[in-house]
Amino acid sequence: MDTEFSTPGQIMSDEPTLKDLAASAEVVVFHSTVTDLGGLDELLESSGRDWRAIEMGMGSADNREQFARLKALTGSTTLPQVFIDGRFVGGLQAATARIEAPGRHPNAASWMGYLGLLPFAAAAAGPWLGLAWTVEWLLAYGAVILSFVGAIHWGLAMGQHHPAPASFHASVIPALVGWVALILPTLIGLPLLAVGFMAWRFWEARYAAMVMPRWFRRLRTVLTVGAVAALIGGWLALLPATGTA
């Protein structure tokens, strides 16, 4: 979270700049020096959202003029005023309702993510139980999931106001890696997928962390570890059969 404090003439000088500031983070809160955020700041922190607070002091004519511009932009005459994804949603009550409403989604995503590890585990266990053919399932499932986690960032980029072209370019790489892994021998394809998962998580942490909620970053790390462990486990089971161990 970023907090900005204004000095006379520092805040936005015209309406387009107001709009730019309102879209400068996932959640932007315009407030006065005496505003009680009513726990909204704690809620935003716990939600893992990227947010910033912009203080609009009323101690100068310049700042009062800027507040008048904000009122003209939103139609609201009081502070705080909250923007989510660049769109004005209202005051504290409206913003809190918007932020709390998606609270079920992280739980749903976590459950679906963890359930998604079950096919990895089952397919990886197969060769150790005498079911060598399950490594083909492991390879196919790994390629599908690697493509899926890449496509997530295509969707994230589409939801941004000014998406970086690199996000679209990078998001197709996991699908290409998955495709190559499928046409290679399984003994090569499985470790290639494992490297692909680790490399993609590194890319996310290095270049896309700001567009991923905190809870999702943690989930992605756990799921990546689970997928890589399964792929390596299945690959190790093949080594004795090929005479390489």
In angstroms, rounded to a whole number, what is the distance separating the alpha carbons of residues 31 and 73? 15
**One domain for residues 159 and 70:** no
Radius of gyration of the chain (CA): 24
Strands laid side by side in the 27-31 sheet: 2-4, 51-55, 27-31, 81-84, 87-90
CA dist list (Å): 75 to 17, 71, 81, 137:
17, 5, 10, 57
In angstroms, rounded to a whole number, what is the distance separating the alpha carbons of residues 168 and 27? 23
pLDDT for 101: 58
**One domain for residues 133 and 97:** no
**One domain for residues 120 and 238:** yes
**One domain for residues 139 and 71:** no
User: By residue range, what is the domain housing residue 146?
Assistant: 116-242
- Looking at 101, 135, 162, which one is the last position of a domain? 101
Task: Decide if 206 is inside a domain.
Answer: yes
pLDDT digit string (tens) for 125-135?
A: 999 999 999 99
In angstroms, rounded to a whole number, what is the distance separating the alpha carbons of residues 28 and 86? 8
- Looking at 48, 71, 101, which one is the last position of a domain? 101
Task: Decide if 26 is inside a domain.
Answer: yes
**One domain for residues 136 and 203:** yes
pTM beyond 0.75: the answer is no
**One domain for residues 85 and 153:** no
Give the chain's domain count: 2
pLDDT digit string (tens) for 189-239?
A: 999 999 999 999 999 999 887 778 777 888 999 999 999 999 999 999 998
